[in-house]
Each structure stands twice: as C-alpha cells, then as structure tokens.
Amino acid sequence: MASPLSGAPRRVLFVEDESALRRTYQRYFSTRYDVAFAASGSEARRQLEDFRPEVLVLDLRLPDTDGVTLLQEIRQSRPSLPVIVTTSYVSMEPLIHVLDLGHSGYLVKPFDMEDLAARIDALG
C-alpha cells in the first residue's frame, strides 16, 4: 500500500532477531512495502535514523535490549510513529508495560502474515 502523501510504498522497519522470521518478512512484504530490517536494538536505532520508517514492527525480545525499553526510547524521539508489537510471550504481563507507550496493536507469535499486513495497511 502506498503512503498517503507520496504515493510511494509505505516504509516499514521490522525489528526482529530471528533470522528465519526476517526472511519470511522479506519474502512476504518486499513487493508490498519499502522494507528494512534490524536484528537488535542498536541496529533498530540506526535504521530509525537512516531509513525513517512510517511504521515499525517491533519484537519485544531482542539480544541487546528488550522491546519495551526500545519503545520507550522511540516514544521520546518519534512519539507519533505507529508501532506494532510482536511477541512470543505467552504471558500478557510484558504487554501491560507496552500498553501505556502508545503502540498501534500487538500480535502474539505465530501469527498470520496477512493479519500483520492488514494492521500495517490500517495505520493510514
């Protein structure tokens, strides 16, 4: 889906440490969106500056930080950036912390890629 203002594909940054899932995202979304990937919090910070995404898909478990901490940082610098949180946590406790941080929804792994695409597309 195109960005509302430019007609260009929406820029989506996927922050995910699992390489198999990053490859799945690449295969599934590369023809639909302008995509970039980060496997860690430090890579995500760089990509936020270099790639300037319009939507962020953020895994809560990262090797060098947790997604909640990263989301807190993002809210300081880019408070209006839509963020879809993904997690493999069975417990909802980590999500309770995220709920106050202005995310745009969450998905529990495993999830359907078309469901994620619909959520990205709904962001506007």
Is the model's pLDDT at 2 over the cut of 70?
no
Evaluate whether 15 touches 56 at the Cβ level (below 8 Å).
yes
67-87 per-position pLDDT tens digit: 888 998 998 999 999 999 998
User: Count of H helices and E strands in the chain?
Assistant: 5, 5
- How confident is the model over 46-55, as pLDDT tens digits? 999 999 999 9
Q: Where are the domains of the chain?
A: 12-86+101-111
- Find the angle CA(51)-CA(108)-CA(33) to the nearest 5 degrees: 30
pLDDT band for position 124 (cuts 50, 70, 90): low
Averaged pLDDT of the chain = 88
Does 5 score more than 70 pLDDT? no
pLDDT range class, residue 118, cuts 50, 70, 90: very high
Note the maximum CA span of the chain.
40
Name the CATH superfamily housing domain 12-86+101-111.
Response regulator (3.40.50.2300)
Q: Is the pLDDT of residue 1 over 80?
A: no
The pTM of the full predicted model, rounded to 2 decimals, is 0.89
| pLDDT above 90: percentage of residues in the chain | 65
Work out the average pLDDT over 38-63. Answer: 96
pLDDT band, very low/low/confident/very high, at 20 (cuts 50, 70, 90): very high
Say if residues 23 and 14 touch (Cβ distance below 8 Å): no
Q: How far apart are CA 88 and CA 96, in angstroms?
A: 15
The Cα 7–Cα 86 span in angstroms is 27
Which residue do the tokens 């639909």 mark?
32
Return the CA Rg of the chain. 13
